[in-house]
Amino acid sequence: MDRRPPTDYRGRVPETPASDLVRSLLLTVPDFPQPGILFRDLTPVLADGAGLHAVVDDLVAAGGPVDAVAGVEARGFLLAAAAAYASGVGTLAVRKAGKLPGEVLRETYALEYGEAAIELHPGQLAPGSRVLLLDDVLATGGTLEAAARLLERAGYEVAGIGVVLELADLGGRARLAGHEVHAILSL
C-alpha cells in the first residue's frame, strides 16, 4: 500500500520519501559554473537506484492519468523515459534547436544574455492528448514555459509540470502560473 501523502500539481508537496532521498543525495557545489553560484547537482539522485525509483514513482503518482510524458533536454529525457515506461505510455523529446530532423515546431525563450530555442516534432500524438512535462530543475521557468507553449502549439494539453528540484528563490513557479507544477523538493 502506498503511504505517501496525496500529491498533485497545485503546489509544493509535503515531505515524502522521495524528497527525503533527493535531499540526502543532492550535492551542493559552490562556485560552479562560476564564482558566487551554488550549483545543485542531481546526478547522484539519478545514479542511485532507490533515488531514481522514488523520484519516478513520485512524479508518476502526482501526474495522474496521461497519454504521454515529455522531457526537456537533457536530464528531462531520463525522467520522462522512466516515467513513461512506469505509466505504460510513450515519451516525447523536447530538444534543443537544430537536433531534430524534418518538420519541427520551435519556441524561443530568453536567457540571461541572449536567447535559446527548443523544438518538438508535431503530430506524434492525437490532438488533445494529455502530456506530463518533466525536467530536473525549475529555476527561472523560462525553458519549461517555452516547452509548455510548444506542447500546446502541437495541440496537446499540458496535464502538469513536474521537476525533481525547485529553486524557489528564482521565481519559476510564478512564471508557470497557468499550469499545475509539482516539485519533489523545493529549496
**How many domains does one find in the chain?**
1
Amino acid at 4: R
Cβ-contact 134, 113 below 8 angstroms: no
Per-residue cell: 2: 502506498
Angle at 111 between CA 108 and CA 113, to 5 degrees: 125
pLDDT surpasses 70 at 14 = no
Which residues have CB under 8 Å from 123's CB, separation 6+? 154
A 10 A CB-CB count for 143 gives 23
Label residue 120 exposed, middle or buried (CB < 10 Å: 0-12, 13-18, 19+).
buried
DSSP 21: H
Q: Is residue 44 part of a domain?
A: no
Of 40, 75, 95, 173, which is the active-site residue? 75
| pLDDT number for residue 15 | 67
Q: Is residue 168 part of a domain?
A: yes
Q: Say how many residues make up the chain.
A: 187
12 catalytic? Reply is no
Q: Is residue 114 part of a domain?
A: yes
How remote is the C-alpha of 113 from its chain's centroid?
23
Q: Give the closest residue to 83 by CA, choosing from 95, 67, 96.
A: 67
15 catalytic? Reply is no
d(CA 111, CA 43): 23
Look up the domain containing 113 and give its range.
64-186
Per-residue cell: 1: 500500500
Q: What are 131-179's pLDDT values in tens digits?
A: 999 999 999 999 999 999 999 999 999 999 999 999 999 999 999 999 9
d(CA 80, CA 27): 22
Q: Is residue 26 part of a domain?
A: no
Per-residue cell: 173: 513557479
pTM of structure: 0.90
Residue 86 is part of a domain; what is its CATH number?
A: 3.40.50.2020
Q: Is residue 31 part of a domain?
A: no
Amino acid at 154: A
Q: Is residue 111 part of a domain?
A: yes
| pLDDT number for residue 112 | 72
pLDDT surpasses 80 at 93 = yes
